Structures are given as C-alpha cells and as structure tokens.
Amino acid sequence: MNAPPVRAAEDGVYVEIRVVPSARENSVSYSDGVLKVKTTAPAEKGKANREAVKILKPLFGACEIASGHKARRKTIRVRNMDSAGFKARLDALTGGGTG
C-alpha cells in the first residue's frame, strides 16, 4: 500500500485527505492511497472542516486545511513535521502498512 501524496515544505508537510461529513462516528482510516476523515459534523459553514482538524490533531499535531475548503478532497498542512515523521505517524495509525 502506498502512502497518500505528501509534499514537504519549509513550514511542514502538505497531505491530501478526503473528508466525509455527517458520518455515523468520527474516525480516520487509510486505504488505497487515501487518508479518509469521517466526521459527524455536517458540511455547512465549515463545521466538517473544523471537526476534521480536531480529529487529526491528536494523530499529527498542529494542522490546518490549506486548500479545498468547500470540496471533499482537501489538502492539509501539518506544521513542524517532515515527510518521514508524517509517514511514521501514518504507519502507527495503520499498523505499518503504508509502504
């Protein structure tokens, strides 16, 4: 399994995610190259975006949505992390299966 697209920058890493609003429960999963964040918040007035960031914060630390604010596919910026650090955290989430 390949890791999701990660782009390193001076201010952290940029990672593509997919947000699923109005889900039954909050969760983060990874499969087929997609980091998926399910949130119980609806897709209105940025509620799902804010909830997605809250869900990701314990896993990856300080992060924010960099682009795709009104789309399901978004790019997040994870501050103070490099590509290797992000991959290590993702491996911990998935049990080491990101390849």
Q: Is the pLDDT of residue 1 over 50?
A: no
pLDDT band at 77 (very low <50, low <70, confident <90, very high): very high
- In this structure, what token pair is assigned to residue 1? 């399994």
- What is the architecture of the domain spanning 6-94? 2-Layer Sandwich (3.30)
Domain coordinates in residue numbering, the chain: 6-94
Q: pLDDT tens digits, residue range 4-32?
A: 678 899 889 999 999 999 999 999 998 88
How is residue 74 annotated by DSSP? E
pTM of the model: 0.87
Which residues have C-beta within 8 Å of that of residue 24, sequence separation ≥ 6? 38, 40
